[in-house]
Amino acid sequence: MARRGDTIELAVLGLLHEGPMHGYELRKRLNLMLGWGRVLSYGSLYPALKKMLRANLITEVAATTTPTSRRPRITYEVTEAGNEHFQRLMSEVGPTAWEDDNFDIRFAFFSSTDMEIRLRVLEGRRSRLQERLARVQGELERTQAEVNRYAAELQRHGVESVEREVRWLSDLIRAERGDESRTPAPGAPTGSD
């Protein structure tokens, strides 16, 4: 399982790879990316930014003040070392790439990833979910008589959600393996990105 700080670092580098941003904008974009289940506080973001500054992965750009606030607004941008680190992180293939904590963030930046790496990550994620699905379906069969109607519905919902994600991943994998000149599935970048 990826450490939360590593996930934040990957997401910040990916966003700054797109262009400079100030802390408020970074937090807003990170929260959109992470989803409602994993809200990021300033108490998590700013220590991560300070650590990345010390590691020379990002730099602070001249602070500006706004008409509504006297506090300077610090803008961050990725350094060359940060770009290299981001590319290295995005090229890693292994369990941390497809686990729940990291997959969504990596997927958001797939356009910065080689097609072979995208395929390996998608296949790894699908395989992991298929293992989980088999385990949950087995547990569901064993416990069906023991649980109340609502617990059974919750388990069924979980199974359907995983089945839906496995189908989605299979569609993405088929699109990646197809002719690169054709239009990929929504959300799946081409190999030329």
What pTM was computed for the model? 0.75
CA 152/CA 170 separation, integer angstroms: 27
Residue 21 to residue 13: CA distance in whole angstroms? 11
In tens, the pLDDT along 72-88 reads: 788 999 999 999 999 99
Question: At which residue do the structure tokens 């006297």 appear?
Answer: 70
The predicted-structure confidence for 93-110, as pLDDT tens digits, reads as follows 888 888 887 888 889 999
pLDDT tens digits along 124-167? 999 999 998 998 888 777 777 677 778 778 888 888 999 999 99
**Domains of the chain, residue spans:** 4-105, 114-177
Classify domain 4-105 by CATH number. 1.10.10.10
